Amino acid sequence: MSTVMSPKDFATATPSWWCPGCGDFGVLSALKQAMAELGKTPKNVAFISGIGCSGKISGYLHSYAFHGVHGRALPVAQAVKLANRNLTVIAAGGDGDGYAIGAGHFLHAVRRNADITYIVMDNQTYGLTKGQSSPTSMTGYITGTSPQGNPDAPINGLAVALAAGGSFLARGFSAHPKLLVDLIKQAVEHKGFSLVEVMSPCVTYNKINTYAWFKENVAYVTENEHYDPTDKQQAFEALSREDKIPLGIIYREQRPTLETLMHLAEMPTVNAVLDPQAPELVALQEAYR
Amino acid sequence: MDSGSHLIVNDIEIMFGGQAGDGSLTTGDLIAGVFKRMGLEVYTYKDFPSRIRGGHTNYVIRAGRHPNYGMADFVDGLVAFDLEAVEAHIEEMRPGGFVIFDNTSETVPDHVKRPDVTWYEIPLAKIAKEDLGLELVRNTISLGVLGALIGMDPQIMRTDVTGVYKRKGDKVVDINMRAIQAGEDYVKAHFAEWPSGYALEAARDGERLLMMGNDAIGYASLVAGCRFIAGYPITPATDILEWMAKYGPKYGAVTIQAEDELAAITMTLGASFTGVRAMTATSGPGQALMTEAIGLAGVLEIPVVVVECARTGPSTGMPTKTEQSNLNHLVFSGHGEIPKIVISPGTVEDSFYLTALAFNLAEKYQMPVFVLTEQALCQSKATLPVLDLSRVKIDRGKLQTDPVVFGEYKRFAFTEDGVSPRVIPGVEGGMHLAPGSEHNELGVITENPKNRARMMEKRMGKMVSAKPDLPAPLVHGDKNARIAVIGYGANRGPIVEAQTRLAAAGTATKFLEMRTLWPFPEEEVRAFIEETDHVFVVENNFTGQLERLVRYVVGPLERMHSVLKYNGRPFRPIEVIEPIERFAAVRGLAGV
Ligand SMILES: Cc1ncc(C[n+]2csc(CCOP(=O)(O)OP(=O)(O)O)c2C)c(N)n1
Ligand code: SF4
Ligand SMILES: [Mg+2]
């Protein structure tokens, strides 16, 4: 790492739109810290976000930031990586963005294993549209669209990802900044698709899953000194716990990345020389003579 | 049997009809290749069912001395592998035409057996099985029969058949050679006194290609510097994705099969945002799914090329059939308003040049560019002159790869032509937010009304800036004619052919082949229809989408008529001629 970076190097001048106390602040500051500690430079970071309160985060990270349409951060992010594999590519969005409207992309991104990082900011509700139930809301959660209680069972995003072949799965809590910075750093360093789900409370709409509630209900997998994050069986067991929400690096493995399996050249796609008159291109016509 | 009194030379339409999966595709391609190598101009049309095995299928191969970009009025020679093929197409036969029928297990009932066509009933399957020991080669026998009847060059035929089966080994080549011979021998033995009425005179095969529309699109993309394609398989667009997957890697092009079209288009945006020329190709159903993200491309001013290979809709419709019913969708779909360009080629050759141009338009004006084509063109093969790659120039517009000064640089800067300098990730100083929300010049989200109005004017203004670069319409026929025809895409072929025949019968027409459909070439269309008595708008849909666009721009016009076809099949020239003549007769037009 040649230059010493500080989290301030990743700050933008744009004032945040988040409510005071929103969990997303913690995610943003951990991300800036992680980028600085990893010695990243803003010009080489592509940060792609979805739509939601959480999706606003791309406006607050000094980088090449892309704030697209609801649920589609992952396809954009994967393509950015394939277009320029030298970039550090991070996608971020809410639980609705990733596990509802973007659920299809989520599954396929997990199994493709492009070398990108995905941060799901999970507040168990739809913040931006004012507190409806989300795919991670608890059954019975009362909202404007579920006045009699949310009838659906919550999605366990990490367990889904584990089953789909996820190669790096972690969960953090936005009120535990140090540990979150560490998780994000390891995720970014991981070669392949890394998923960091962050419990990020919505102080305005979610009056059930509050900071206090989380503090009661989370447990780091490392509390068990025998926990082995390379053991898939243990990972499934941890994710199946009903009493506690497991935090930490739940699972990791090394498997070939999408870039490797697609036989991408070391040189980024974006640097390909474009010459319409290249002799081999002209010669392609021979097949049609 | 009446085989017709005079010989038709170098003008023939062959139809291969049978069940899907029975090999008529390979045989049809072979015939097209032989015709081409005999120096003839070729057009093919695939009329396949949307299933892999079974279901009636046919493949039309047309050959002539002059380029034809469409089907003829009639089928001249039908090669029918079953009765279903005869029953389905006997009405389409030209009086004096001929049918080669495999009578191994079926006979043609008398009421179907038109007396004005020549019948060659041959037990093709039986000969294949009993004499050659392989039923599969009945297609190749039919090739020998056809070749002997119409005078296909036997040597070229053998060379081409060898070329196709070489991969499968000498044994396979050998049995196919014997199959051709068996076909030829059968004709000699049984039909020596029974001519087909058709003949081919070989000319020299000049510097020409035989290429499918979708291949031309794939090829053009690679030549024009496209290095990223994302797509989700859909007929009739998949060929393009497959073409790039096959030829792209050598040039560093990435092909990715997305999980759906929502991903395909957003991946395309991601690659383009990163500075790679990027495209996706789809058909109606996929296009519908892409709508939201195309709006995003509009507001983020990201260049993107979207090839739409139209098929019969709505919903699943008839996936392997042709239609021009997606024009409205491309022009009007989307919430909010964005600048966009819709261009449409009329030939395979034009498919190449317009696709190559699309990448320049997209990057110069930083907006979505649609290349609109349809099944009858994109999955058809045609002969064309060798492509001139020196005509393809790469113009990346205001792409900015040198460092910029952070704080001064504005990704969405207001400029004279509405186009702002565009940086890509990695460029020093260019960091910014590209938000789908309304934003200021820097990319900061704002709902300020003055900024909003100016941003709308900036973005939409680019369509005016782009005008000089858009493909001009072509005028075919007599520029002073008072009967005007307007159309686009695959209809170019049948319309031009109709014009030639109308002219021969004394009716002068002019035809405006539109190659840019949006922004609508208002001045050109106005000027074209100014001094006319009748304007016929020819298109493959029910509601007259192009005709409505014309009205929308030039106002209601009493002398405008819609010529529509919406049965999933392309126009035959007579279907353009008849409405014009009918109208002319009713109105008592001079010269008809
Ligand atoms: C296609 C589409 N449908 C619906 C919306 C409205 N919408 C915006 S954000 C959102 C949900 C956000 O929830 P989540 O992803 O959990 O993010 P949060 O606001 O909770 O951070 C919805 C439904 C939209 N923008 N686009
Ligand atoms: S509504 Fe909830 S999620 Fe949105 S900014 Fe406020 S606290 Fe955060
Ligand atoms: Mg949420």
Mean pLDDT of all residues in B102-125: 97
Distance between alpha carbon B237 and the CA centroid of its chain, in Å? 10
pTM: 0.96
Shortest Cα distance, chain A CAs vs residue B254, angstroms = 7
Would you state the pLDDT for residue B590?
A: 46
Domain ranges of chain B: 3-206, 210-391, 398-471, 474-587
**Cβ of residue A164 lying under 6 Å from some atom of ligand 2:** no
With respect to residue A117, please indicate whether it lies within any of the assigned structural domains.
Answer: yes
Would you state the pLDDT for residue B526?
A: 95
Q: What is the three-class DSSP state of B400?
A: strand
User: pLDDT tens digits, residue range B302-347?
Assistant: 999 999 999 999 999 999 999 999 999 999 999 999 999 999 999 9
User: pLDDT tens digits, residue range A44-82?
Assistant: 999 999 999 999 999 999 999 999 999 999 999 999 999
With respect to residue A172, please indicate whether it lies within any of the assigned structural domains.
Answer: yes
Instruction: Give dist(CA B414, CA B461) in Å, integer.
Output: 11
User: pLDDT tens digits, residue range B510-539?
Assistant: 999 999 999 999 999 999 999 999 999 999
pLDDT tier at B203, thresholds 50, 70, 90: confident
Mean pLDDT of all residues in B384-408: 97
CA of residue A99 to ligand 2 center, whole Å: 18
Mean pLDDT of all residues in A262-279: 96
Contact residues, chain B, for A108 at CB < 8 Å: 258-259, 263
Would you state the pLDDT for residue B345?
A: 98
Which residue shows structure tokens 């070439």? B521
Share of chain B above pLDDT 70, in %: 98
Q: Do B266 and A75 lie within an 8 Å CB cutoff?
A: yes
Contact residues, chain B, for A276 at CB < 8 Å: 223-225, 356, 389-390, 392-394
Mean pLDDT of all residues in A266-278: 96
Mean pLDDT of all residues in A230-257: 97
- Nearest chain B Cα to A89, which residue? B425
Mutate to test the interface with A, among B37, B266, B380, B401 (most CBs of A within 10 A): B266
A269 — contact with chain B (CB < 8 Å)?
yes
User: pLDDT tens digits, residue range B157-188?
Assistant: 999 999 999 999 999 999 999 999 999 999 99
| pLDDT exceeds 70 at position A2 | no
Q: Do B223 and A51 lie within an 8 Å CB cutoff?
A: no
With respect to residue A280, please indicate whether it lies within any of the assigned structural domains.
Answer: no
| pLDDT exceeds 70 at position B99 | yes
Mean pLDDT of all residues in B573-579: 96
Contact residues, chain A, for B292 at CB < 8 Å: 69
Mean pLDDT of all residues in B352-371: 98
Instruction: Give dist(CA B319, CA B19) in Å, integer.
Output: 17
Parent domain of A69: 7-256
User: pLDDT tens digits, residue range B212-253?
Assistant: 999 999 999 999 999 999 999 999 999 999 999 999 999 999
In the CATH scheme, what is the code of domain B3-206? Answer: 3.40.920.10
User: pLDDT tens digits, residue range B429-452?
Assistant: 999 999 999 999 999 999 999 999
CA-angle at A132, arms to A131 and A138, nearest 5°: 100
| pLDDT exceeds 80 at position B51 | no
Pocket test for ligand 2, best of A129, A134, A205 (most atoms within 8 A of CB): A205
Shortest Cα distance, chain B CAs vs residue A97, angstroms = 14
A 233-262: CB under 8 A from B: 262
Contact residues, chain A, for B411 at CB < 8 Å: none
A 71-100: CB under 8 A from B: 71-72, 74-80, 82-84, 86-87
pLDDT tier at B283, thresholds 50, 70, 90: very high
CA of residue A142 to ligand 3 center, whole Å: 15
Counting atoms of ligand 1 from 1, which one is nearest the CA of A55?
Answer: 21
Task: Count how many pairs of residues, chain A against chain B, have C-beta atoms within 8 Å.
Answer: 193
Rounded to the nearest integer, the mean pLDDT of chain B is: 94
Would you state the pLDDT for residue A73?
A: 98
With respect to residue A270, please indicate whether it lies within any of the assigned structural domains.
Answer: no
Distance between alpha carbon B251 and the CA centroid of its chain, in Å? 26
Q: Do B263 and A43 lie within an 8 Å CB cutoff?
A: no
On whether the CB atoms of residues A54 and A240 are closer than 8 A, the answer is no
pLDDT tier at B207, thresholds 50, 70, 90: confident
With respect to residue A167, please indicate whether it lies within any of the assigned structural domains.
Answer: yes
Give the number of other Cβ atoms within 10 Å of residue A5's Cβ.
Answer: 18
The CATH number for A112's domain is 3.40.50.970
Classify burial at B567, counting beta carbons within 10 Å of its beta carbon; exposed 0-12, middle 13-18, buried 19 or more: exposed
Would you state the pLDDT for residue B46?
A: 87
- Nearest chain B Cα to A56, which residue? B435
On whether the CB atoms of residues B27 and B16 are closer than 8 A, the answer is yes
Mean pLDDT of all residues in A196-210: 98
Would you state the pLDDT for residue B591?
A: 43
Instruction: Give dist(CA B318, CA B567) in Å, integer.
Output: 10
Give the count of domains, chain A.
Answer: 1
pLDDT tier at B5, thresholds 50, 70, 90: low
Q: Which residues of A54-88 are buried (b: 16+ CB within 10 A; e: fewer)?
A: bbbbbbbbbbbbbbbbbbbbbbbbbbbbbbbbebb
Which residue shows structure tokens 């010049």? B441
Q: Do A79 and B426 lie within an 8 Å CB cutoff?
A: no
The residue whose CA has the least distance to atom 25 of ligand 1 is A70
Would you state the pLDDT for residue B49?
A: 78
With respect to residue A53, please indicate whether it lies within any of the assigned structural domains.
Answer: yes
With respect to residue A226, please indicate whether it lies within any of the assigned structural domains.
Answer: yes
**Cβ of residue A22 lying under 6 Å from some atom of ligand 2:** yes
Counting atoms of ligand 1 from 1, which one is nearest the CA of A93?
Answer: 15
Contact residues, chain B, for A59 at CB < 8 Å: 433, 435, 444-445
A11 — contact with chain B (CB < 8 Å)?
no
CATH architecture type of domain B474-587: 3-Layer(aba) Sandwich (3.40)
CA-angle at B289, arms to B365 and B315, nearest 5°: 130
Shortest Cα distance, chain B CAs vs residue A31, angstroms = 17
pLDDT tier at B52, thresholds 50, 70, 90: confident
With respect to residue A161, please indicate whether it lies within any of the assigned structural domains.
Answer: yes
Q: Do domains B210-391 and B474-587 have the same CATH topology?
A: yes
Domain over B210-391 is classified CATH 3.40.50.970: yes
| pLDDT exceeds 90 at position B4 | no
**Cβ of residue A54 lying under 6 Å from some atom of ligand 1:** yes
A20 — contact with chain B (CB < 8 Å)?
no
Instruction: Give dist(CA B423, CA A64) in Å, integer.
Output: 10
Contact residues, chain A, for B300 at CB < 8 Å: 66, 68
| pLDDT exceeds 50 at position B3 | no
CA distances from B443 to A13, A68, A79, B403, B434 (A): 12, 13, 21, 18, 6
| pLDDT exceeds 80 at position B588 | no
